[in-house]
Amino acid sequence: MYDRVIKRILDIIISLAVILVLSPVYLITALLVRVKLGSPVLFSQLRPGYHEKIFRMYKFRSMTDERDENGKLLPDEVRLTPFGAKLRSTSLDELPEMFNILKGDMSIVGPRPQLVRDIVFMTEEQRHRADVRPGLTGLAQINGRNAISWKKKLEYDLEYIRNESFLYDLKIFFGTFAAVFRHDDINMEGEATALDMGDWLLKEGKVTEEEYLKKQEEAKELIRRSGL
């Protein structure tokens, strides 16, 4: 009852209120992104949502589109500007996700929507994180965010699924403000951006190169089937 009805009503009310009240912040941020990084202002990416249904998630762009002589995007640490890093540390880049919440793709609180190429590396148990709508913030985000391992992050996601309730969501919601104001745990130490799950597993020696490439193809097939 809470997850299906009450939580959805709260998501609509809160997301609509945030969009209206913070409309000047949306406008100013969009203008700054346009001046600092150029067009487009928004960055969209396909993410698996409720029951792993793929949707298009929106953020304010925080990286340039700089490419090498072969047309390949430069590494994240090169494309992430000081302005973009500030957007991420303050979570202002996440503001457009309020429209995803209003639409019903996401919730205010829930496991963060990871990449399609992340879920293919998860175990059957770990994929139960998709039993609820993905969230703007979640239990993992107030307990280390991107600075913790993928294993720990997914453990937090499953713990949330088991304990989801109004009071639990309220605790996470207010805990998020403290995490944002601290500006810490944005990424793993030594990384400009968070590692994909497959890259982390490969780095840790938990999958072979062959397994890694096979899973990447599986992710591409899921995206093709989505039709987005």
Query: What's the pLDDT at 183?
Result: 58
Measured CA to CA, the distance from residue 26 to residue 34 in angstroms comes to 12
How does DSSP assign 52-99, residue by residue?
G-EEEEEEE--B---B-TTSPBPPHHHHB-HHHHHHHHTTGGGTTHHH
Report pLDDT digits (tens) over 164-192: 999 999 999 999 988 777 655 555 555 55
Report pLDDT digits (tens) over 79-113: 898 999 999 888 899 999 999 999 999 999 999 99
Our count of domains for the chain comes to 1
What is the domain extent for residue 82? 2-226
Q: How far is CA 218 from CA 46, 92, 117, 202, 221, in A?
A: 15, 32, 8, 16, 5
Query: What's the pLDDT at 21?
Result: 98
Query: What's the pLDDT at 75?
Result: 82
Query: What's the pLDDT at 191?
Result: 54
Can you list the residues of the chain whose pLDDT is less than 70?
182-193
Query: What's the pLDDT at 123?
Result: 96
Query: What's the pLDDT at 225?
Result: 95
